[in-house]
Amino acid sequence: MTSPDDKRRTIRDVAKAAGVSISTASNALNGIGRTNAETREKVKRIADELGFRPNALARGLLTKRSHAIGMLTNDTYGRLTLPMAAGVSEILVDHGVSLFLCATNNDPRLAKLHIDALLDRQVDGIIFTATRIDLEPPPELLKLRIPVIYAFAQGPSDSVSFHPDDAQGARIAVQHLQTLGRSRILHITGEQNYLAARIRADAYRELAGSYGQVMFGEWSEEWGHSAIDAVYSRSAPKPDAIFCGSDEIARGVIDALRDRGISIPDDVAVVGFDNWEVVSRQTRPPLTTIDMELKELGHRAGLAILGLSRGEKFEPGVVRLPCSLVARGSA
Amino acid sequence: MTSPDDKRRTIRDVAKAAGVSISTASNALNGIGRTNAETREKVKRIADELGFRPNALARGLLTKRSHAIGMLTNDTYGRLTLPMAAGVSEILVDHGVSLFLCATNNDPRLAKLHIDALLDRQVDGIIFTATRIDLEPPPELLKLRIPVIYAFAQGPSDSVSFHPDDAQGARIAVQHLQTLGRSRILHITGEQNYLAARIRADAYRELAGSYGQVMFGEWSEEWGHSAIDAVYSRSAPKPDAIFCGSDEIARGVIDALRDRGISIPDDVAVVGFDNWEVVSRQTRPPLTTIDMELKELGHRAGLAILGLSRGEKFEPGVVRLPCSLVARGSA
DNA sequence: TGTTTTTGATAAAACCTTTTATCTCCTATA
DNA sequence: TATAGGAGATAAAAGGTTTTATCAAAAACA
């Protein structure tokens, strides 16, 4: 005598308890085929009573759809990746699809290992995410039989990628400052070999007028500091607003300005980029900044991979999702 | 005529190409049963040439081991969770086990949804992680047939949990300050209703001597600020060192001390807690702080769940993993 | 030479579902 | 009345693997 909870119930148990065949039980539960409404209800009720849940492995083996997708990411500390993963997950769970998380640490060998494992598990698709747009995805991804979506990363030309609209984000930042009456707007940003930094800088230049000037440097608070030191140690006319390439840079900028007794936003207005709340909420004053809507980006990527895995077609190319401005005290 | 890469190769293809039966192919590939060394090599070679990889669904269906485990987490912004997930993943990938990531957003309904999905997929085990130790895990976890590990979270008494050793972490912080010759050490920390905060505070009190004083507040930079304001607006003797409950608090403390022209570490030494590099590397001076070794915690949790899923036994209870001190400029 | 072991290989069952093809009743039509 | 058609149910195949039981041939033994 074994206890009733000893092992999982199978559809065979349900069928036997309902006094029908396995196929009838399956049809009834899935609501397909020709089934009498009465038996259908009975089977469903009994399945419920027994706590029956179909074995996803068996189902996937037969239907060739595992209802799982893989997400490849190259970072571990996750300021960019995790919001996206949360967005993806939110969409998937609503569709009964689970998410494999694979951290590749930028190691091609590890990436291959993970991709193989995902294929072995018959995932319905793969989302590749990166910490910067212009990062090469692992070559193994290019020739798969399953769909691949690139989020915050650049896929090959016939693939579909989702990026934040960096140019639009830069524009709304500059326009916000101009609406506040600022005309001498400086742009302090990160490394020039980041595509996103160049796109933002270009968009900024289009609007900034003759005063416009871009200072490339690093993605660090320290660089924000030293950039301000540089600006105020030269004789050129001083800015009345600064658009920063990241919240961290903005934090350094704000700290440096405060050290000089410059009032924010009265003397100089500051706008950041990222809306990384742990930074942007903690500056004094709190930082007005650009939000890349990473969770929404995850939503879109999730919907896309679901659609593709069902055979829907998507226009190849880069989809740029609009950024939004979060107004706080600094501008 | 279909192209050779049209679909995945099955073991049947390998068997046919090698001129052996399916069972022989299986035995050869897995190195079990009685197989001639020569045929074994041949089968392996041909499987390799064909790029054969076994279907994990079929294998899991039969062996009842899916070689996948689920990780339940309640946060989305991931400062604590993601390093742990990376640690777990590192261990698992070495053992050919994949990781389902489930973000529950602290929503019990969502947690149940995810747990059910994991069970349907026949995961070999579940790791529950949280953002604070004293957070109730979802009740569904308590009565599963598969093993559950609690990481950074408190399971029932017969379960196995992994926590950072908060008491030891607090002790090495205080001892470090004392080694530097400081005797008036203050403890500024977060909310008292966090168990971790209370444990650290208790350990601190044991060592701090008569000057010892704990200021509970919030886990924010702002609280660090206002705590310093409070300390310096009263007439009591001033501290020569401050042990902070988080790096964010420490950052607020350092900024406030600098505003007052107090030199760090000469006048006041500061130690943080978390080693959240984006904060601790950016303070001026850089922050000496306690690292909870979250990745190592992930390693241990991963090894534990692997062991349990193979039927090994683990002593129930809480395993406390030692923290380490990272010396930078502030103390 | 006849019998028992050992070796190597295989057929078939099993895992749990879904789906196709079949089958049995009934009812409606000619 | 004979036949066609439809409703409802089912047996069986399929999916890809592992494993058990079986089998044939070669080797070892008496």
D18 closest protein residue (CA to C1'):
B62
pLDDT at A77 over 60: yes
Asked whether residue B22's C-beta has any atom of DNA/RNA strand D within 7 A, the reply is yes
- Return the residue of A nearest to B219 by Cα: A278
Phi, psi of B125 (to 5 degrees): 180, 170
Q: Which pLDDT belongs to residue A86?
A: 87
Q: Which two tokens stand for residue A136?
A: 């090469």
Strand partners, B186: B213, B242
Residue owning tokens 């929503």? B107
Chain D positions under 7 Å from a protein CB? 7-12, 14-21
User: Would an 8 Å CB–CB cutoff place A103 in contact with chain B?
Assistant: yes
Tell me what pLDDT residue B76 has. Answer: 67
pLDDT of the residue at B181: 96
Determine the residue of chain A that is closest to B112 in CA distance: A93
Residue A136: predicted pLDDT:
86
> Would you call A57 and B121 a contact, using CB atoms and an 8 Å cutoff?
yes
For chain B, the average pLDDT equals: 93
pLDDT in tens, chain B (331 residues): 334 455 789 999 999 999 999 999 999 999 888 899 999 999 999 999 999 999 999 999 999 999 999 999 987 667 888 889 889 999 999 999 999 999 888 899 999 999 999 999 999 999 999 888 888 889 999 989 999 999 999 899 999 999 999 999 999 999 999 999 999 999 999 999 999 999 999 999 999 999 999 999 999 999 999 999 999 999 989 999 999 999 999 999 999 999 999 999 999 999 999 999 889 998 989 999 999 999 999 999 999 999 999 999 999 999 999 999 999 999 9
Q: Is the CB of A113 under 7 A from strand C?
A: no
**pLDDT, mean over chain A:** 93
Domains in chain A: ranges and CATH:
11-54 (1.10.260.40), 66-164+294-321 (3.40.50.2300), 166-291 (3.40.50.2300)
Stretch A294-320: mean pLDDT:
95
Burial of residue B293 (CB within 10 Å: 0-12, 13-18, 19+) is buried
CB contact under 8 A, B100 and A103: no
Chain A contact probe: residue of B57, B72, B75, B109 with most A CBs at under 10 A: B57
What pLDDT, in 10s, does the model give residues A214-232?
999 999 999 999 999 999 9
**Is B76 near chain A, with CB under 8 Å?**
yes
Higher-pLDDT residue of B270 and A82 is: B270
Helices (H), chain A: 11-18, 22-30, 37-50, 56-63, 81-94, 108-120, 166-179, 195-208, 221-233, 247-259, 277-280, 294-309
Q: Do A77 and B77 touch (CB under 8 A)?
A: no
At A34 the pLDDT is 85
Looking at the complex, does the CB of residue A54 fall below 8 Å from at least one CB of chain B?
Answer: yes
Listed by number, the residues of chain A in 280-299 with a beta carbon closer than 8 Å to a beta carbon of chain B are 282, 295
**How long is the CA B27 to C1' C19 vector, in angstroms?**
31
Beta strand A324-326 pairing with A288-291: antiparallel
Q: Please report the pLDDT score of residue A6 as a whole number.
A: 59
The C-alpha atoms of residue A73 and residue A90 are separated, in whole angstroms, by 17
Separation between Cα atoms, residue A177 and residue A207, nearest integer Å? 11
**Closest-approach nucleotide to residue B120, Cα vs C1':** C16
| Three-class DSSP category at B38 | helix
Nucleotide nearest to B64 (CA to C1'): C15
Residue A285: asked if its preceding bond is cis (omega within 30°), the reply is yes
pLDDT (average), residues A203-209: 96
pLDDT tens, residue by residue, A4-27? 455 789 999 999 999 999 999 999
Contact indicator for A328, A289 with CB cutoff of 8 Å: yes
- Best A7, A10, A71, A76 member to test B by mutation, with max B CBs in 10 Å, is A76
Task: Determine if strand D comes within 7 Å of the CB of B63.
Answer: yes
pLDDT at B3: 41
Q: What local confidence, expressed as pLDDT, does residue B86 receive?
A: 86
The answer to whether B33 CB is within 7 Å of strand D is yes
Whether A57 and B96 lie within 8 Å, measured CB to CB? no
Q: Does A108 touch chain B (CB under 8 A)?
A: no
> By CA distance, what is B5's nearest residue in A?
A145
List, for residues A111-162, the tens digit of each pLDDT value.
999 999 999 999 999 999 998 888 888 999 998 999 999 999 999 999 999 9
Q: Looking at strand C, which nucleotides approach a protein CB closer than 7 A?
A: 7-12, 14-21
The answer for A 109-138 residues in CB contact with B (under 8 A) is 110, 113-114, 116-122
State which residues between 130 and 159 of chain B bring their CB within 7 Å of strand D: none
DSSP string, B91-143: HHHHTT-EEEEEE-TT-HHHHHHHHHHHHHTT-S-EEEE-SSTT-PPPGGGGG
